[in-house]
Amino acid sequence: GWQASMKSGSLSYIIPCNRLPVQLMSQVRVYTSNGQKKDLGSEDTNGSTPQETPHKVGTGRQDMSNAGQKQSFLKEPIQVKVKAVLKKREYGPKYTQNNFITGVRAINEFCLKSSDLDQLRKIKRRSPHDDTETFTVYLRSDVEAKSLEVWGSPEALARERKRRKEAEIKYRENLFRNQRLLREYKEFFGNTKPRSSAAAMFFKGPGKVVMVAICINGLNFFFKLLAWVYTGSASMFSEAIHSLADTCNQALLALGISQSARTPDPSHPYGFTNMRYIASLISGVGIFMMGAGLSWYHGIIGLLHPHPIESLLWAYCILAGSLVSEGATLLVAINEIRRSARAKGLSFYQYVVQSRDPSTNVVLLEDAAAVLSVAVAATCMGLTSLTGNPYYDSVGSLGVGTLLGTVSAFLIYTNTEALLGRSIQPEQLQRLTELLESDPVVRAIHDVKATDMGMSKVRFKAEVDFDGRVVTRSYLEKQDIELLLQEIQQVKTLEELEAFMLKHGENIVDTLGAEVDRLEKDLKQRNPDVRHVDLEIL
C-alpha cells in the first residue's frame, strides 16, 4: 500500500490505503483568536494554559462545535477504487519461444531429418506465397528440443553445423565438377515447375527482331567490306564498320535476352530482367567506340591525307542493297514497337523514350541510323564522283560518325535511367493509390514508392494506416457471436481475461495479415505490371 500525508489549514491526517474502506484518524488542532492552538481528539481538551483562560469563555463553545463537526466529517468512510493492472512480462533481449520455423529451415539449421519432424507438433499458418493458401510450420522451441535430443548437446550440434558448412564451401569450390548433377536437378525441377524456353524467345517479339537484324547486318558488313577494299572509299569504310558494330551489338542483345529469361535464385530474388538493359547499355558504348570512333578517325585521316577513289559503281550497288535490307529490318522493329506500345496504352514516342523494350529500341535506332548513314554516304560519294574532290567522301565519314555518336548517347542515357530504378508514370501511381484508399480497411497511405524494375515490372511500396475497427469487425463477422458472448460471460478472473484476450488478439492479428494479402492480390490482379508489393503497417 501507499501512504500520503496531507495538510490543509488546520487539518493534518494520514490515509493508509492497504485496507478498504478507510477510517480517517487524525488529530484536530483548533486555533484561538490570539493565534494559539489547542489539541482535540486524542489529547485532553479540558486542560488549558494560563494564556488561553481569558479567551476560553467567549470562544470555547463555538470551537467545540466546529471540532465536533470536523470529527464527524473525518469519521465518514471513503470509497477508494484501485485499478487492477496486469503485470508486465519481461521477455528479455532475445525471445524465440513462440517463434515458428519451416521444415526446410529446421532441417538445414538444426541438422535434422524429415523423419525427426514427424514427431513434432504441426501448425497450419497462412502462406506468404501466392500459389498456396496454407503451409505447415513448427514451434522453434520444439525444434530446438528435438535437435538437442538427436545430437545430445549444444556442442555436438555446433560441431555438426561447422562440418556441414565446410562441406558446403567445398561443394561450391567444386561446382564445375557437379554440373551434371545440377543439370539433372534442373530437369527434375523443370518437370514440376514450367519454365520459359530461351530458344523460343527468338521466334517472337524482341528476340525475333534481334535475330533478323543480326542476319541482315552480318551480310551487309561482308558486302560493304568488299566494296571498301575495291574502292578505298572512306564513307564505305565507315559503312562497313557501322554494320560490324551493329552485328556485334545485336549479338550482345541476343545474349541479354537469353540471360533475362533465367529463373530467380537466392542470390537474385527479383530475377535477371535487367540483363536486357545492361546489354543495351554496353551496346550503346560499343556503338560509340567502334562505330563513331572509327568513322571519325577514318574521316580525319581522309581530310589530312586525301587520295583518289576508284570506280564507285559497285559501292552504289552495295549501298542500294543495304538501304533495302536495313529498311526492312527497320520496318520489323517499328511494327513490333507499335504493337507493344498499343498493348501498354502508350504512344510510339513515349514507348521509345521510356525504353520499355531496350532490345527493340536498340535495333530501331541502329537501323534508323543505318538508313540515314547510307543516304549520307551515297550523297558524299556522289559529290566526290561528280567533282573529283575526295574531301566530300571524308566529310561523309565524319557525318556517319556523328550520327552514330548521337544514337549511342541516347541509348546510354535511356538505359542508365532504367537501371537506376525510375518511378512509374504519375497517372499509373495515382490509380494504384486510389485503389488502396477506396478500400474500407485503409484509413490512409503514406510514403508511396513505385519503381519500374524494367520490362514492365513494377515494385510497389507504401505505409498503410489500417482501420482497426474494420479489421476487428471483419474478424467478428466470421465468428459465432453467441458462442463468443458465452466466452465473455465465463470470464471471472484476471487469468481468464488474459487467456481470452490473447486468443482473440492473435486471431485479429492474423485477420490483419489476411487483409494485407488481399490488398496485395487485388493490386496485382488489377495492374498486371505490379509484380512485387510491400505494404507496411503504420
Query: Is the domain of 267 the same as that of 404?
Result: yes
Domain-ending residue, one of 390, 420, 450: 420
Q: 149 lies in a domain?
A: yes
Give me the pLDDT at residue 310, please: 62
Query: Is the domain of 297 the same as that of 379?
Result: yes
Q: 166 lies in a domain?
A: yes
Query: Is the domain of 442 the same as that of 415?
Result: no
Give me the pLDDT at residue 467, please: 92
Query: Is the domain of 222 the same as that of 136?
Result: no
Round to whole Å and give the CA distance between 22 and 45: 25
C-alpha R_g of the chain: 43
Give me the pLDDT at residue 6, please: 43
Q: What is the pLDDT of residues 366-418, one digit of tens each?
A: 788 878 888 888 888 888 888 878 888 888 888 888 888 888 888 888 888 88
Question: 199 CB contacts (<8 Å, ≥6 apart)?
Answer: none
Give me the pLDDT at residue 81, please: 60
Q: 68 lies in a domain?
A: no
End-to-end CA, the chain = 40
Q: 304 lies in a domain?
A: yes
Give me the pLDDT at residue 25, please: 42
Round to whole Å and give the CA distance between 368 and 329: 9
Q: 484 lies in a domain?
A: yes
DSSP 360-374: HHHHHHHHHHHHHHH
Residues of the chain with pLDDT under 70: 1-89, 91-96, 129-131, 175-203, 309-312
Query: Is the domain of 333 the same as that of 476?
Result: no
Domain-ending residue, one of 143, 165, 189: 189
Q: 78 lies in a domain?
A: no
Query: Is the domain of 396 the same as that of 447?
Result: no
Give me the pLDDT at residue 270, please: 79
- Can you say how many angstroms the Cα of residue 283 is from the centroid of all Cα atoms in its chain? 29
Query: Is the domain of 215 the same as that of 144?
Result: no
| CA pseudo-torsion sign 108, 111, 115, 120 | negative
Give me the pLDDT at residue 23, please: 43
Give me the domain span that covers residue 323.
199-420
Q: 111 lies in a domain?
A: yes
CATH code of residue 180: 3.90.530
CATH code of residue 465: 3.30.70.1350
Query: Is the domain of 405 the same as that of 530?
Result: no
Q: 164 lies in a domain?
A: yes
Q: Report the domain count for the chain.
A: 3
Query: Is the domain of 115 the same as that of 256?
Result: no
Query: Is the domain of 378 the same as that of 477?
Result: no
Query: Is the domain of 294 the same as that of 406?
Result: yes
Return the SS3 of 379: helix
Output DSSP code: residue 78.
B
Query: Is the domain of 412 the same as that of 447?
Result: no
Domain-ending residue, one of 165, 189, 213: 189
CATH code of residue 210: 1.20.1510.10
Give me the pLDDT at residue 76, please: 59
pTM: 0.60
